[in-house]
């Protein structure tokens, strides 16, 4: 998946508001830089995540972008920063293979956003204890996982699944919440 193009000045305008572009730090003025490039805005991160997961569905058959939007919204409602909201949009992208670790490493995102995405990315064969320890050790990552678990464990979402899947996921999410101190 390629990145959206950026003007060299880092002062690209967006929408029709005439406002200057704001990167993930939310600061006005010239967009903050990542490796000499303007940081992606939240709007760009959202669009990128939606494209990366296009055509994917969740266990209930719903468009996967609905889950991403719910997690990003949950992070926002819990007072999360723009960096955390961006990581929420991308929280499953590497794990699901929609984006590669190499893409993430080179992305025009803050180091904090990249660290949070890496922290919430479950690795193949990784024990849940190691996964949750990494989340707890990474500043900002717990809020993303909390919002993710809240949406995953939403009774309305679980209700459309067969009983065996619903029970398996309920137990799984309860265990992860306990290991994260969210129980």
Phi-psi region of 149 (alpha: psi -120 to 50; beta: other; left: phi over 0): alpha
Contacts of 60 (CB under 8 A, 6+ apart): 157, 160, 161
Whether the pTM exceeds 0.75: the reply is yes
Q: Which of 8-12, 57-61, 91-95 has the lowest mean pLDDT?
A: 8-12
In angstroms, the Cα distances linking 155 to 76, 151, 160 are 21, 9, 9
What is the pLDDT, as a whole number, of residue 38? 95
| Residue-wise pLDDT tens digits, 79-100 | 999 999 999 999 999 999 999 9
Q: Can you tell me whether residue 57 is helix, strand or coil?
A: strand
Residue-range domains of the chain with CATH:
33-179 (1.10.3210.10)
Asked whether the predicted pLDDT for residue 117 surpasses 70, the reply is yes
Closest CA to 25 of 104, 84, 107, 89: 84
Asked whether the predicted pLDDT for residue 22 surpasses 70, the reply is no
In a 13 Å sphere around the CA of 152, the CA atoms on its Cβ side amount to 18
pLDDT category of residue 37 using cuts at 50, 70 and 90: confident
Mean per-residue pLDDT of the chain: 86
Q: CA–CA separation, 73 vs 79, rounded Å?
A: 10
What is the pLDDT, as a whole number, of residue 183? 82
Alpha carbon 74 to its chain centroid, in Å, reads: 11
């Amino acid at each position: 998946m390629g990145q959206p193009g950026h003007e060299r000045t880092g002062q690209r305008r967006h929408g029709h508001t005439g406002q200057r572009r704001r990167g993930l730090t939310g600061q006005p003025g010239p967009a903050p830089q990542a490796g000499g490039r303007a940081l992606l805005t939240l709007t760009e991160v959202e669009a990128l995540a939606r494209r990366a997961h296009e055509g994917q569905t969740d266990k209930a058959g719903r468009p996967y972008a609905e889950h991403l939007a719910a997690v990003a919204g949950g992070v926002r409602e819990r007072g999360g920063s723009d960096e955390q909201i961006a990581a929420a949009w991308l929280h499953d992208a590497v794990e699901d293979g929609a984006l590669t670790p190499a893409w993430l490493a080179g992305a025009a995102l803050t180091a904090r956003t990249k660290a949070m995405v890496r922290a919430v990315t479950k690795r193949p064969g990784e024990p849940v204890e190691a996964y949750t320890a990494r989340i707890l050790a990474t500043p900002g990552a717990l809020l993303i996982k909390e919002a993710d678990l809240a949406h995953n464990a939403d009774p309305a979402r679980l209700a459309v699944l067969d009983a065996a899947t619903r029970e398996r996921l309920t137990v799984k999410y309860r265990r992860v919440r306990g290991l994260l101190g969210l129980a």
